[in-house]
Amino acid sequence: EFQPHDQPPADLKKTKHFFGPATFYCVETICCPCGVVEAWAKFAKSESESNILAFLNKVYPTKESRPDYICIDKTCQLLKHIAKQGHWPEWSETSRFIVDSYHYQNHRKTDILCREWCNPAPTDGSAPNLATEVSDGSTYDKQAFNTQACEQLNAWLGGFDSILKRMTPQNYNWFIHSMLTYYTSKVLARQAKKQNVQQKKVENDSD
């Protein structure tokens, strides 16, 4: 059973008998657009808006530490929650919340809040840092940042799902942290290699 990302979480079903190990609902991650993992946490029962907001407040405790943009698959619901809880004034001063491009295309076009506030690449000039104009024979708009970094990480972590289900909580925490550290090191190595290639190209062009 899948829960639409632009819908509130469904009520948890209570079971009288459950013959299996206790599990966490999901692992929540925060990634930079380049793919570097900044933080992670386990959500016990649901990926609720209150859990997400608490996670963000823990990772970014001060206004100075908050990023300019925060990209989440269910930003629409999170924004509503932030507004209802009275936190919108403090967050609106520092960050703009957007939906990643993959999930944005599946959100309702009639959702005005989502379309006006959560667009990952608006072309009306309201967020010039999110969309850039590229000329390659013809001129077209292009997303300036990778908004699917966390989704790409989740797909990679999914390959270890069968292993993680059989681990004790302590081993689970160690394994997740180790794999995320490894993933980040690979991202940084790839960036360094790309930068070296670009630097050599510049040096060759200048000769």
The tens digit of pLDDT for each residue in 152-195 reads: 999 999 999 988 888 888 999 999 999 999 999 999 999 999 88
Give me the torsion for CA of 68, 71, 76, 82, rounded to 10°: -50
- Give the DSSP letter of residue 31: E
Give mean pLDDT, residues 57-64: 95
pLDDT tens-digit map of 69-124: 999 988 889 999 999 999 999 999 999 998 888 777 777 777 878 888 888 888 77
pLDDT confidence band for 3 (50 / 70 / 90): very low
Structure tokens at 127: 């967020």
Structure tokens at 190: 């790839």
Q: State the pairing for strand pair 96-98/131-136.
A: unpaired
Q: Which residues contact 59 (CB under 8 A, 6 or more apart)?
A: 30, 38, 39, 65
Instruction: Judge whether 95 and 103 are in contact, CB under 8 Å.
Output: no
Length of the chain: 207
Higher pLDDT, 24 or 184: 184
pTM over 0.85: no
Among candidates 117, 37, 33, 42, which has minimal Cα distance to 75? 117
16 pLDDT more than 60: no
Instruction: Report the DSSP beta bridge partners of residue 97.
Output: 70
Burial 70-97, CB ≥16 within 10 A → b, else e: bbbbbbbbbbebbeeeeeeeebeeebbb
5 pLDDT more than 60: no
The distance from CA 169 to its chain's CA centroid, rounded to whole angstroms, is 24
1 pLDDT more than 50: no
Instruction: Report the DSSP beta bridge partners of residue 27.
Output: 42
Give mean pLDDT, residues 27-37: 93
Instruction: Report the DSSP beta bridge partners of residue 131.
Output: 143
3-state secondary structure of 48: coil
**Residue 196 burial (CB < 10 Å; 0-12/13-18/19+)?**
exposed
